[in-house]
């Protein structure tokens, strides 16, 4: 990093030194040389002194410039290394590669013999050596944040800890120094790195000679450690996002299985139950077509299970439109439960994209399944229409009805799934029912994407 004292010194030397030299030279000439020597000799000696002074001044200025240039070049290398490390972090390579890159730069830029990066374990005390340079992995072992003399300095001070000589530093006396002793180091520098106020780990640089680290190295090592914090936190957020995605996928499969496959299995089970009763009263050959139909239905369910797992659309909406899917639901309800069914499709039918059509179909499927299983109804009506810029689905029955609020409070999966489906396409679900007056389910879905 640039030392502003160098610029300040240069400025003062460049202004004051020439003036002081000229004044001193004039006094020497007038007070010491001319009174004692002929003018020619006096002025000759003064010229020689002036030449020597100019040479000395030039040498001093160039020495300062070389020192300044060396610091400038070092600062440029450090900033370039930090910039390149930032690019690596944003490119999101493997976290192990990133941390190895941090320790490589820490060793090279601070002139250390050894650099080690430790990550804090969930127990809040164990520091695990995760990346290192300058020493074999076999000599490194987990250390205690509070028990290790060097690491404890970071915890106690809350910032960089510089140890010029571990043999004479009273702060480390009587404390174990695991890495220092195993590698044979004398001077050390340790900095912490954190995210959101939580300590993530430490970065250590060590040297076998004493007094090799100062404030400049501490500032540089802290900058490298801060990039390590960004890399670690980004990696953990990425892993958390993957876990969340897996959870959402599991919920999707569970919802799809409940809305689709379980309803189909229930309907097929009712059909098989009815067939078993007929077998007791009729010839087996007369119920064979119905039995084969039930077997076909089970095969379709198995295919739907595979499709749901891989995120495909159910068979009822693949190669067929939503209207035909609703007709198939009504036919199935009529065959299984003996309901009088009515399907109303008002022209012009609303045009829905795949996601919205799937949501409408699943809500209709859940509603029809509830009618078959719970309503004790004799009539079922399905209606699909367009109302302004929205598609409207209605499923209505004349069954026993129920209290939607009480059902919701008791954790009804079906109503919750229908509500989730509606929200997923920015739709609105309404369930109108009551004991003894049937049920009407209404889903309203916007035809265009909602702009948030």
Is the confidence at residue 68, as pLDDT, over 90?
Answer: no
The beta-carbon contacts of 116-119 under 8 Å, at least 24 apart in sequence, are 116/140, 116/179, 116/203, 116/204, 116/206, 117/201, 117/202, 117/203, 117/204, 117/228, 118/143, 118/151, 118/201, 118/202, 118/203, 118/204, 119/200, 119/201, 119/232
- Report how far residue 154's alpha carbon sits from residue 144's, in angstroms, rounded to the nearest whole number: 12
pLDDT score at 312: 47
Is there a contact between 206 and 180 (Cβ–Cβ < 8 Å)?
A: yes
List the structure tokens of 16: 């004051």
Is the confidence at residue 116, as pLDDT, over 60?
Answer: yes
Q: Give me the count of residues in the chain.
A: 452
The whole-chain average pLDDT of the chain stands at: 77
Is there a contact between 325 and 317 (Cβ–Cβ < 8 Å)?
A: yes
- Report how far residue 12's alpha carbon sits from residue 17's, in angstroms, rounded to the nearest whole number: 8
- Report how far residue 140's alpha carbon sits from residue 114's, in angstroms, rounded to the nearest whole number: 12
pLDDT score at 1: 40
Of 63 and 319, the structure prediction assigns the larger pLDDT to 63
DSSP letters spanning 37-73: S-HHHHHHHHHHHHHHHHHHHHHHHHHHHHHHHHHHH
pLDDT score at 26: 77
Tell me the HSE value of 47 on the side-chain side, using a 13 A CA sphere. 6
| Lowest model confidence (mean pLDDT) among 57-66, 178-187, 267-276, 356-365 | 267-276
348 upstream amide cis, omega within 30 of 0:
yes
30 - beta bridge partners?
A: none
List the structure tokens of 95: 């976290």
Is the confidence at residue 249, as pLDDT, over 70?
Answer: no
| Lowest model confidence (mean pLDDT) among 23-32, 81-90, 296-305, 348-357 | 81-90
pLDDT score at 344: 93
- Report how far residue 348's alpha carbon sits from residue 405's, in angstroms, rounded to the nearest whole number: 35
In the chain, the percentage of residues whose pLDDT exceeds 70 is 68
383 CB-near residues (< 8 Å, 6+ apart): 343, 344, 345, 346, 392, 393, 394, 395, 396
pLDDT score at 438: 92
pLDDT score at 2: 43
List the structure tokens of 44: 């000759």
pLDDT score at 452: 34
pLDDT score at 318: 43
pLDDT band of residue 398 (cuts 50, 70, 90) is very high
Tell me the HSE value of 200 on the side-chain side, using a 13 A CA sphere. 21
pLDDT band of residue 205 (cuts 50, 70, 90) is very high
pLDDT score at 342: 93
List the structure tokens of 1: 């990093």
Is the confidence at residue 193, as pLDDT, over 80?
Answer: yes
Q: For 310-403, where are the alpha helices, taking DSSP H only?
A: 322-337, 354-370
The order of strands in the sheet holding 161-163 is: 143-144, 126-133, 114-120, 198-207, 187-195, 161-163
- Report how far residue 344's alpha carbon sits from residue 362's, in angstroms, rounded to the nearest whole number: 18
Cβ burial 305-315 (10 Å sphere, 16+ → b, else e): bebbeeeebbb
Per-residue pLDDT of 321-374, as tens digits, reads: 788 889 888 888 887 778 899 999 988 777 788 788 888 988 998 898 888 888
370 CB-near residues (< 8 Å, 6+ apart): 414, 439
């Amino acid at each position: 990093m640039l030392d502003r004292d160098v610029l300040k010194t240069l400025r003062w030397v460049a202004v004051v030194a020439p003036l002081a030299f000229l004044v001193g030279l004039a006094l020497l000439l007038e007070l010491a040389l001319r009174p004692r020597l002929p003018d020619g000799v006096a002025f000759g000696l003064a010229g020689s002194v002036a030449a020597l002074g100019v040479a000395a001044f030039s040498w001093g200025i160039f020495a300062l410039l070389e020192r300044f240039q060396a610091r400038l070049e070092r600062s440029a290398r450090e900033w370039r290394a930090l910039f390149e490390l930032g690019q690596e972090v944003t490119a999101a390579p493997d976290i192990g590669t990133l941390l190895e890159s941090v320790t490589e730069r820490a060793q090279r830029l601070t002139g250390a013999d050894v650099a080690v990066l430790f990550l804090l374990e969930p127990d809040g005390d164990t520091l695990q050596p995760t990346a290192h340079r300058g020493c074999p992995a076999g000599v490194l072992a987990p250390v205690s944040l509070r028990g290790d003399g060097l690491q404890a300095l970071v915890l106690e001070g809350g910032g960089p800890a510089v140890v010029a000589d571990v043999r004479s530093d009273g702060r480390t006396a009587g404390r174990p120094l695991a890495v220092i002793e195993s590698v044979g180091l004398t001077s050390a520098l340790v900095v912490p790195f954190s995210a959101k106020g939580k300590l993530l780990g430490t970065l250590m640089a060590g040297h076998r000679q004493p007094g090799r680290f100062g404030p400049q190295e501490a500032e540089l090592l802290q900058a490298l450690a801060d990039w390590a914090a960004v890399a670690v936190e980004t990696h953990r957020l990425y892993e958390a996002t993957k876990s969340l995605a897996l959870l959402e996928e599991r919920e999707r499969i569970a919802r799809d299985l409940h809305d689709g496959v379980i309803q189909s299995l229930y309907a097929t089970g009712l059909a098989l139950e009815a067939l078993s009763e007929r077998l007791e009263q009729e010839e087996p050959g007369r119920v064979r077509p119905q039995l084969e139909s039930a077997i076909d239905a089970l095969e379709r369910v198995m295919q739907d299970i595979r499709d749901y797992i891989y995120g495909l659309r159910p068979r009822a909406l693949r190669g067929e439109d939503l209207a035909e899917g609703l007709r198939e639901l009504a036919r199935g309800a009529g065959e299984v439960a003996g309901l009088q069914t009515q399907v109303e499709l008002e022209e012009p039918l609303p045009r829905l994209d795949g996601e919205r059509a799937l949501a409408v179909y699943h809500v209709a499927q859940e509603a029809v399944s509830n009618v078959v299983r719970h309503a004790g109804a004799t009539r079922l009506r399905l209606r699909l229409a367009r109302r302004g810029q929205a598609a409207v689905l209605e499923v209505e029955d004349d069954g026993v009805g129920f209290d939607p609020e009480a059902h919701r409070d008791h954790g009804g999966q079906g109503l919750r799934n229908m509500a989730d489906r509606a929200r997923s396409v920015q739709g609105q679900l309404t369930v109108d029912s009551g004991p003894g007056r049937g049920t009407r389910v209404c889903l309203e879905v916007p035809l265009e994407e909602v702009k948030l």
